[in-house]
Amino acid sequence: MHGHFLGDLAGPFLVAGAGTAFAFIPVSIAALAGVGERDAGLASGLLNASQQIGGAIGVAVTSTVAASHLDSLARSGSTTPAALTGGFGWALWVCGAIGLAAVPIAFVLIRRDELAHVTDHTVGVAA
């Protein structure tokens, strides 16, 4: 393995960073749309807790997939680097499938009527 940061990692890191920003901000806006000022703290806490729980479940699922595929490849005689690459590859495919499955679910669960009635005022924050 002889990779270089600029040639091999900088581009994917920039794409991942931008993708994260374009994912978390709209999710936060949609989740908190229509929440009253009185309940904003509670809703924000529930959003953060569900993101953490979802992340933990995602790591558990993908690491299980990676480990089981790695084990299967190692038992069939693959070298350790090839088995690791194969296991991580399957885990990334699972992540992609979960992401694709989430798109239609999001369209079904979005509260369009609440989003349409949200006014432009924001929750006041003490400075």
Q: State the average pLDDT for the chain.
A: 85
47 with 31: CB under 8 angstroms?
A: yes
Residue 104 lies in a domain: yes
19-70 pLDDT per residue, tens? 888 888 888 888 888 888 899 899 999 999 999 999 999 999 999 999 999 9
Residue 7 lies in a domain: no
Show the tokens assigned to 47: 């959003």
What is the rounded average pLDDT of the residues 67-95?
94
> How does residue 93 score in pLDDT terms, banded at 50, 70 and 90?
very high
Residue 75 lies in a domain: yes
Per-residue pLDDT, 94 = 95
62 with 91: CB under 8 angstroms?
A: yes
Residue 70 lies in a domain: yes
Residue 71 lies in a domain: yes
Backbone angles phi, psi at 58, to 5 degrees: -60, -45
d(CA 37, CA 122): 8
- Asked whether residue 127 carries a pLDDT value surpassing 50, the answer given is no
d(CA 78, CA 25): 42
17 with 101: CB under 8 angstroms?
A: no
What's the total number of domains in the chain? Answer: 1
- Asked whether residue 82 carries a pLDDT value surpassing 60, the answer given is yes
User: Which residue range forms the structural domain that includes residue 84?
Assistant: 51-117
Which residue reads 């002889």 in tokens? Answer: 2
Residue 45 lies in a domain: no
Backbone angles phi, psi at 79, to 5 degrees: -70, 160
Length of the chain: 127
Residue at 1: amino acid letter: M
Residue 38 lies in a domain: no
Residue 97 lies in a domain: yes
Closest listed residue to residue 91, CA positions, set 54, 72, 64: 64
